Amino acid sequence: MSLSFNSKLGEVEGDGWNLMSSDSRSKCGWRSRSSVCWIAAAALCLGLLLLTVIMVAHNTSAINQWDSKYTDLIHEITKGRDELREERDQLRGERDQLKIHSSNLTHELETLQSQYNDVVDSRDKLQEDIKNLHLNRTNKTCNIGWTRFNNKCYFISPSGMPKTWEGARKDCQQKGADLVIITTREELDFVKKAFGITWIGLSRHEDRWKWVDGTFLDGDGFWQDGEPNNSDGNEDCVEVSRKASAWNDVPCDRKFSWVCED
């Protein structure tokens, strides 16, 4: 709505609507002090005031609605921001935990790698030692008067000089060796060829047969049929017979030839 005020006619015009009638306009000039003129002026002012109030109320309602929407939007944005911050902090915590776990795994890996390297070095050293032992054993030389067989050195006692089992062992020990320990059929066949009967390094200890190196007889051994029988009650030492190609228990005070093993 548009309004206009005609100072000459003392009237308000707006879209063809006059606040004063034509008769009133004829009776009221610009400087007229009649009551009609003051009423018209007061009506005009009230109309303008009412229009202003309506416009202000309308604008205030719109502003309030906008403020409400703006407040809701700010609330949603703030809530979303807080949720994002919380999620960010949680992700940072998980990241820090993963960093710690990764660091621990790296330390464990380095420790395992170090242990592995130590094991590899130890293995290589053992392999080298075994290689050297085999080399030394293969290249082992026997003293003068000793016989080499399967990388071992054997001393065969002089012929015609028999000794008891203890005497034979003492002779071997004086040479830095001991009576022969037979562990294979090949070794048995080698020893039996020396004499008809030969002392070996096996004797009885509390009903068990024990080698001169302190180990007990493992398995059945190479006994003659029916042996050991301890027929004399004191057959505590063992000899090997060339004819039987096997072991026999006999008294230790008997005298036979012997074979030492280094």
- Which residue type sits at 71? T
Per the domain annotation, does 178 fall within a domain? Answer: yes
DSSP-derived pairing of the beta strands 11-14 and 17-18: antiparallel
Do 156 and 61 belong together in one domain?
Answer: no
| CA neighbor of 211 nearest in space, from 147, 261, 255 | 261
Together in a domain, 105 and 4? yes
Asked if residue 222 is part of any domain, the answer here is yes
88 and 175 co-located in one domain: no
CATH number where 233 lies: 3.10.100.10
User: Are 212 and 181 contacting, i.e. CB atoms less than 8 angstroms apart?
Assistant: yes
215: DSSP letter: P
On whether both 100 and 177 belong to a single domain, the answer is: no
Is 184 in the same domain as 87? Answer: no
Residue 247 sits in the same domain as residue 161: yes
Domain presence at residue 53: yes
Q: What is the mean pLDDT of the chain?
A: 84
Question: Is 233 found in the same domain as 184?
Answer: yes
pLDDT for 226-242, tens place per residue? 999 998 889 999 999 99
132 in a domain, yes or no?
no
Q: Which residue has the tokens 């008769």?
A: 23
Confirm if 157 and 196 have CB atoms less than 8 A apart. Answer: no
Least confident piece of the model among 26-40, 72-86, 191-205: 26-40
| Res 159: pLDDT | 93
Both 80 and 153 in a single domain? no
Place of tokens 């505590």: 236
User: Domain span at residue 171?
Assistant: 147-261
In a domain, 15, yes or no: yes
Q: Does some domain include residue 122?
A: no
CA–CA separation, 175 and 155 (whole Å): 9
Give me the long-range contacts of 146-154 (CB less than 8 A, separation at least 24): 146/262, 149/187, 149/190, 150/186, 150/187, 150/190, 152/261, 152/262, 153/177, 153/261, 153/262, 154/180, 154/190, 154/191, 154/259, 154/260, 154/261, 154/262
Last residue in a domain, options 110, 137, 156: 110
How many structural domains are present in the chain? Answer: 2
Which of 118-122, 167-171, 181-185, 207-211 shows the lowest mean pLDDT across its residues? Answer: 118-122
pLDDT in tens, 61-89: 777 777 788 888 888 898 889 999 999 99
- d(Cα 156, Cα 207) in Å, to the nearest integer? 29
Residue 93 lies in a domain: yes
Residue 138 counted as domain residue: no
